[in-house]
Amino acid sequence: MTYDVIIIGAGPGGTAAAVYSARKQLKTLLICKEFGGQSIVSEDIQNWIGTPSISGIALAKAFKDHVAKYADFVTIQEGVWVENIEHTEVGFTVKTNKETFSGRSLLITSGSTRRKLAVPGADTFENKGLTYCASCDGPLFSEQDVVVVGGGNAGFESAAQLLAYCKSVTILQHGDRYKADEITVAKVLAHPNVKGILNTEIVEVKGDKFVTGIVYEDTTTNEKHELPVTGIFVEIGLVPSTDFLGTLVEVDTYRRIKIDPWTQRASLLGVWAAGDCSNIKYHQNNIAAGDAVRAIEDLYLYLKTGK
């Protein structure tokens, strides 16, 4: 069987795409390790439009239940992952760890993973005060002292968001200069509740049942310092989940798929991408869903007109 479209990934982007593809009565295959994307680890998501509060697990279940309503058009392959994709004369051959599938077109919504903080205590207190999403979890730290690890644009943007809720925000940067835009750095650090510290090496995350502090070393003096905080927001980069693509499409230096933002098309005809695996500026559940819907709209026209 040859599917009209094969969607890889079932976060908000892949789920939205599967629903829209089914409503256009396209024969659709959805391949994923699991539903939910990065948000599956969040205990309380408050910015999924139309749902004031929902856990990541509940959101993932809602994604799956919604797609399952279109079983006449969507085949779900859950618990599998893509190992290789080949471009053929009639479309694409997608090899997973279990079997091989054929499709006329591809939509890549494989997302990304947060680069983890690899120090003692980080794994222990993940989702217990240590988080990788300020926009998702920031409101949970109202009137508390928190730390942002990472001085790039993402770190400073997170700090700016956290100022709406938190008592104080301290930004810890590894090197001797911040990597964020100078204008952003100046604006955020000008806030009286923000402090920035350069030349830091994170040593340990401390806590009991939840985070109670973070230990860093001053790389210029080799002195260790402990900050008493209840929240740690890690912004040290994203790792796009695109290794399985090989050289199929063009990617940027971070291995994010290069797309045309007008259509979501990748460099190879018949391939679209949406969400965190694509080279977009902002990364949010709602943005990924919207971009994936745009991709399906364009993909549908391509399948019907060849353009």
If one compares 239 and 297, the residue with the highest pLDDT of the two is 297
Return phi, psi of residue 169, to 5°: -130, 125
How far from the centroid of its chain's Cα atoms is residue 16's Cα?
Answer: 15
pTM: predicted TM-score of the whole model, two decimal places: 0.77
pLDDT recorded at residue 211 = 98
- Rounded Cα distance between 243 and 266, Å, is 15
pLDDT recorded at residue 143 = 97
Residue 62 in tokens? 């809602």
**pLDDT tens, residue by residue, 66-123:** 999 999 999 999 999 999 999 999 899 999 999 999 999 999 999 998 889 999 999 9
Residue 33: exposed, middle, or buried by beta-carbon count in 10 A (0-12, 13-18, 19+)?
Answer: middle
pLDDT average, residue stretch 251-256 = 94
H or E stretch at 13: helix 12-23
pLDDT average, residue stretch 183-194 = 95
12-23 and 56-68 helices, crossing angle to 10°: 20
Furthest C-alpha separation in the chain: 65
Whether pLDDT at 42 is above 80: no
Q: What is the CA radius of gyration of the chain?
A: 21
**pLDDT tens, residue by residue, 125-161:** 999 999 988 888 899 999 999 999 999 988 998 999 9
